[in-house]
Chain A
Amino acid sequence: SQKIEQNSEALNIQEGKTATLTCNYTNYSPAYLQWYRQDPGRGPVFLLLIRENEKEKRKERLKVTFDTTLKQSLFHITASQPADSATYLCALADNQGGKLIFGQGTELSVKP
Chain B
Amino acid sequence: SQTIHQWPATLVQPVGSPLSLECTVEGTSNPNLYWYRQAAGRGLQLLFYSIGIDQISSEVPQNLSASRPQDRQFILSSKKLLLSDSGFYLCAWTHRGRDYGYTFGSGTRLTVV
A residues whose Cβ falls under 8 Å from a Cβ of B: 4, 31-32, 34, 36, 41-47, 49, 51, 89, 93, 98-105
Query: A32 and B42: CB pair below 8 A?
Result: no
The reply on B19 being an interface residue by CB < 8 A is: no
- The residue that B43 contacts in the complex, of A31, A49, A105, with Cβ under 8 A, is A105
Interface size in chain B (residues, C-beta < 8 A): 24
Query: B106 and A99: CB pair below 8 A?
Result: no
B residues whose Cβ falls under 8 Å from a Cβ of A: 32, 34, 36, 42-44, 46, 49, 59, 88, 90, 92, 97-107, 109
3 tightest Cβ-Cβ pairs between the two chains A and B: A46-B101, A43-B104, A104-B43
Query: B43 and A103: CB pair below 8 A?
Result: yes
Nearest-Cβ distance from residue A48 to partner chain B, whole angstroms: 8
| CB nearest to B4 among chain A residues | A43
Contacts beyond the supplied A98-B32, A102-B36: 16 A-B pairs with Cβ under 8 Å: A32-B98, A36-B101, A36-B102, A42-B106, A42-B107, A43-B90, A43-B92, A43-B104, A46-B101, A49-B99, A49-B101, A99-B46, A99-B59, A100-B102, A101-B46, A102-B46
> Quick one: given A43-B90, A44-B104, are A51 and B99 in contact (CB under 8 Å)?
yes
Question: In the complex the two chains form, what is the Cα distance from A83 to B109 in whole Å?
Answer: 24
Q: Can you list 8 A-B pairs, Cβ within 8 angstroms, ordered by A? A: A34-B102, A36-B102, A41-B88, A89-B44, A93-B98, A99-B49, A102-B36, A102-B43
Nearest-Cβ distance from residue A47 to partner chain B, whole angstroms: 8
Query: A34 and B101: CB pair below 8 A?
Result: yes
CB contacts (< 8 Å) of B46 on chain A: these are 99-102
